[in-house]
Amino acid sequence: MTRLWRVRRRPDHWATPHDRARHRAAERLDGPLGVIEAAWLEEHLAECGACFATAQAFEVDRMGLRSLRDDIPVPPRDLWARTSAAIEQESAGHRRASTGAAGRSPLAQWGAIAGVVVVAVVVGSSLLQGGWLGRAGGTAVGPQGSLTALLTPQPLPSGIEVTPGATPMVVDAGDVGWFDVGADGSYAYNVANVDKVCAQVDQASCAALDAGHGRPLALSTSPKSIITSPANGQTVVVGADGSGGNAVFVVALPEDQAASPSPTAGADSPPPSPTAVPTATVATASASPSASAPAVATTAGPSISSSPSPVASPSADPSSPPPSDPPSPTPTSDTTPTPTMTPAPTAEALAIVSGVTVVGDAAAFSPDGEWFAFTARPADGSAGPDIYVWHVGEPHAHAMTTDHQSAFGSWADGLVIGSRPGLPSTTAASSPGETAGASPTPDLQPVADVGPVTFSLDPSTGTELVLPVAWWRPAVSPTGRRAVVWDGSVRVDSAGRTIAPADGRLVLVDWGVNDTAPTAPRVVSKDPISDFTVRWDETGSWLAVWLADAGDPMIGRLSLLHLDPATGKVDRPAAGPQDVPAMPGFSIENGRLAWASPPRQDGEGSHVQIVAWSVDGVGSIESAPGQDVVVVR
């Protein structure tokens, strides 16, 4: 690169000597200059500091460019399959136009088949609609393995990886469970082991998620949320109680579902015999023995009422009756819907609370599985929400707050993190502090757009600590280092029954005392929000955010976010779902996010959608459509 690079421009063509020096300094990186120009440049650089700095900048920039050599992007692993099929199509077209097809090589034969398959898959998939993946999940194109075999007709040259792992992509996402309504109208429990998904580039050939046989479970209520314990296998079901409210009951779902589906069962196969279906067992006790008593139990520990919080309840009357006074009409054994016991297979259940309306979808077990927390208000609308907890092994959940304005956010360090509307700004700064007990009932005068009060509750003692922040419903990561919160005001309706984000934004903030430098809040959403749910995976690096639709709170939009634990930066991985339509319940763990898509207007039901990620990339898969699908989380 010497003489070839000689530039014909003469030195005296430059507008200024500095222009000339800058040009030569760049030019010499690609080959030596002529003797005269090189000498001139050295002399000029020795005298001109700015030009010397520019010359150095060129060198540094070149090193920066060359550092990109170390970042070699990895192409999709099925790229050769696609390319070879396209080449073979090209070749086949040429042969058809020529005299014949004699002498076709094995590669050509396989490639032709692969090309036909690819075309068929693409055309077929383009005819299908629906779901995040853009197709009807119930239509399996064909066995993944056979397709892969077709696309890898012979050993490839070294250095090329087109293995069966390319499509489908192997992941270790574990089981995903969901309920849907079976053909007989009863609910069925489905579990699918997600060990492979389809790369984004290959959705057209992606078979539907195989859940084997759904396990019929006779639930008399329509489940709204289903939450499994991280520790003991118990499952809490929030269901409709038939009177407009909710019942919360505990069931033990059948185990080994994924391991025992009939591998040969088809559409005409008989349903599994009762003996083949393990009967769900009562979780902790028989159905509520106190069904005739008020179903909403409230703790009566002295610490609960002895020290009202001055912040949350300045007008509280410590002697006011707790909400164990049943909402009117009082739920009784005759009027309170409870999960029905039906012949096996049956999810025998323990009702831990009924006659309430469970608010939101933040309900969650504590990390050790010992406690379950949720937000609920009386079903008759007589009061606003409180935070309830259920201790595993006890017959009932109980309310930990009695102000009727509290909402559960998440668990952090074994404590319930909640929030409630604060006082109007003129008095909100009054001294918050430790309150050895839940706050008494404040007056329920309409309070518009007030800042929230954030607090922690010890589920064992009821001790409440008001935290020095003003965040609504913090969703704390399992690491306890960060949280997604509503940073802004909340609005209480005129009856004091509903509380919703008002003016503010959803942000990621530092939580607790971190050993890293504090980071500025990162905006997750700055749009108006009527309701939201945020969940983290077990690593604290991935989170999903569901934002309710303003017009229909039962439908929202779901996004997957990734948190860089070192910097606190939040990215929206483009390969993951971003603002996709989703029902409220979703599950994120084990490197995958699962949710139910809304039913389609043409009557097709919901799909369970799963996106999974690994070091190889991101892929997805979906179930066949089902009715009233609820993802177990």
Partner 1 sequence: MSSTWDRDEAAAFVETLFAKHEREIFGYLLRMMRDPEVAADMTQDAFIKAYKHYDTLEKPENARAWLYQIAHRVALDEIRRRKIIRFFPWTGESHGAAPSAEHLVMDANLSGDMQRALARIPERQRAALLLGEVHDLTGLELAAALGVSHVAARALLTRARESLRQALAVERATDAAADAAADAAEVAGSSRHGGSMEPRS
The answer to whether 436 contacts partner 1 (rule: CB under 8 A) is no
Q: Taking contact as CB under 8 A, which single stretch among the options 113-121, 261-269, 464-472, 584-592 is the one that binds partner 1?
A: 464-472
The answer to whether 578 contacts partner 1 (rule: CB under 8 A) is yes
Site string for partner 1, 92-131 (x = CB under 8 A): --xx--x--xxxxx-xx-----------------------
Is residue 110 within 8 A of residue 153, CB to CB? The reply is yes
Write phi, then psi, for 144 (nearest 5 degrees).
-60, -40
Written in H, E and C, the secondary structure of 301-339 is CHHHHCCCCCCCCCCCCCCCCCCCCCCCCCCCCCCCCCC
In order of 11, 77, 528, the CA distances from 525 in angstroms are 57, 34, 8
Site string for partner 1, 530-569 (x = CB under 8 A): -----------------------------x--x------x
- The burial class, CB within 10 Å (0-12 / 13-18 / 19+), for 413 is exposed
- The pairs formed by 285-289 with CB atoms below 8 angstroms and a separation of 24 or more are 285/350, 285/395, 286/350, 287/338, 287/339, 287/341, 287/348, 287/349, 287/350, 287/351, 288/338, 288/350, 288/351, 288/352, 288/395, 288/396, 289/395
The answer to whether 157 contacts partner 1 (rule: CB under 8 A) is yes
Q: Which of 14, 17, 18, 23 binds partner 1 (CB under 8 A)?
A: 23
Q: Taking contact as CB under 8 A, which single stretch among the options 188-196, 281-289, 517-525, 591-599 is the one that binds partner 1?
A: 517-525
The answer to whether 486 contacts partner 1 (rule: CB under 8 A) is no
The answer to whether 240 contacts partner 1 (rule: CB under 8 A) is no
For the chain, the farthest-separated pair of C-alpha atoms sits apart, in whole angstroms, at: 105
- How far, rounded to the nearest angstrom, does the alpha carbon of residue 171 sit from its chain's CA centroid? 17
Q: Which of 263, 266, 270, 518 binds partner 1 (CB under 8 A)?
A: 518
Is residue 511 within 8 A of residue 484, CB to CB? The reply is no
* Shortest Å distance, C-beta 433 to partner 1: 5
* Shortest Å distance, C-beta 613 to partner 1: 8
The answer to whether 582 contacts partner 1 (rule: CB under 8 A) is no
Site string for partner 1, 610-629 (x = CB under 8 A): ---x---xxx----------
A 10 A CB-CB count for 394 gives 14
The residue (of 192 and 524) whose beta carbon lies closer to partner 1 is: 524
* Shortest Å distance, C-beta 313 to partner 1: 17
Q: Which of 83, 163, 269, 461 binds partner 1 (CB under 8 A)?
A: 83
The residue (of 458 and 549) whose beta carbon lies closer to partner 1 is: 458
Per-state percent for the chain, helix, strand, coil, to nearest 5: 20, 30, 50
Q: Which of 76, 164, 301, 310 binds partner 1 (CB under 8 A)?
A: 76
* Shortest Å distance, C-beta 510 to partner 1: 8
Single-letter amino acid, residue 254: P
* Shortest Å distance, C-beta 30 to partner 1: 5
